[in-house]
Structure 1
């Protein structure tokens, strides 16, 4: 049996009839399972791999070649590639940075992912990664350290765990209309740079606040509902809702917290459960003649404001 392992033009390991010859550059770092050769195991173990030794390795088993037809002689050569050995990242030219060609769309107030990954899958743990918007650096990862622009503190993040899989996606939370624009991802490694551009488009508010055009009527000492809802049906759980009478704030809901004017304590309520369906109706209990007048509902979300007015008449 004669076995040769080659790397480019260099013969790395040579075995013939029990005798072993090893390239001086690989001495003490390569081995073959000699006791398992009879079972067809001719795997080469390469230790302490260096950058210069990454690439294509060719196995030539001449014992097989002698038994092969000349037309099939190429079947005696097995190919393997050292793509990424732990501790030795591949050269930048071996991968590319992939970002979506089409714009990424988001609704105001939502969390959005700006996708980016290395292809083929390559660990980015030892690389430097920068996310920018225009000339402003938003986020930077370098050798295990993270830096975030103070303007984006708690709003942006990158999964360090996913870097091992070459995933560099940036998560941007609670996006606003002002977040629309071009975002650049840059990867630096071994003096080389890869750049990808993503356009984020945050949609304008696509709902309206609906209130009845006619006055709402009620009898004294009864309970009355001042109707208001979002159309199309849109969750209002993450919005701020204010009910006022003139300049006086009666009720406020904001991010799960409720505040009620002390003069209306125990007299007004809003169904938190119904907010998920975009229903913002205010219940006013035990109404009196003095409660007659105009009531305003305001919805504030992502810098936008919707307003509707309901007139209450007490007979």
Structure 2
């Protein structure tokens, strides 16, 4: 045998054989798919196809359609001519089926019904024969052509009007384009895309124009995948003649302070008074959709309501003929903190007012405990919970002078309420009297606790008593048990034992 540096003839032969086998196996079959992606509209059906090359029967193979990983997000699996439904991901059950017409020629098709936005993305078609696998990927592009846009105009202010273009049911995120009557593009002030529960987008684009130069304005919403668009046109001079253009909406001038768990009262009214029964009234946060509460034609539109407000809002309408409405939000939460907008709308013109709500939580009375010694130091810990917004903590001595904390720790629970811990180093357990105050910066209220050295000495005394007393109790108990054992004599022939705590019945007659 001839050896080469680092190799052997037998090793080279084995490597060569492995390469030949690998080359043969790699030519076993390939999987090919469509040269281009598949386009499907929301709500329609899509057909995903792939093909063995060279052409051969796939009836005896395992064929699997999946997303991301072969064992995860399985649309459907086929093995030995039968479906393997237990592998299927829940979201595709009842929505996909095999098209088996070309299985004998190695052609596989999967039909997907009722296309959703979540179906958009890459898919894999995988064939397996024994230990050999082949697969290919294809791209499914989902598109939704939504509603025609609607342009609303806010009442004039400072010589300007604000236009808001809204549309719904689009996928993917659409593009918005404003133009004036001459076809010149207008610069959008802001544009927001908000997905609904089905994954479709609502678009909300805002434009501000000066009344002196305003004429006809158009808004177009464009789908980048379908290359289709829908538009709307609004004449500003005509809208300026409508009823709401001359009205205003007024509300509380000061922020509303509401404690956690109480009800929020949001009152808005038209000025001068006007009947609002035929108007759309909407309470919103940052955007028109989804809303806190929507009132249209005497009914609450629950489909447009934010999930966190469902079942928590009631509209008081007894003064609606005077243009005054109050929205009650029950059981105030920390997430309710912030700005709200109240909108009255009619004939495509709306007026609004902004209200500030400050949610406050007055937490528990602080507790002061002594910890240590740690690294030769002792420290006081002041803790309290249930505060909102973030509380302030301060230490003071017996004369009321501030004492700086050594450190503070702040945590916010799932309900949004804050828990605080403040630490103060002390020289010894006989430190002078100190107080800890936790305050709410919005309410200006605080809760205070005082730590007295006597509290520490009392706690220390109890610890000493426990440490010394416990062994004594154990010793006394052992002595009593020993004495008790010597004083008891049990006669096994006694039918009525009087000194035993347990009674064992006789198993047979005595001899």
User: TM-score, length-normalised on structure 1?
Assistant: 0.38
Give the number of the structure with larger relative contact order, counting CA–CA contacts within 8 Å between residues 6 or more apart. Answer: 1
User: TM-score, length-normalised on structure 2?
Assistant: 0.25
Larger radius of gyration: 2
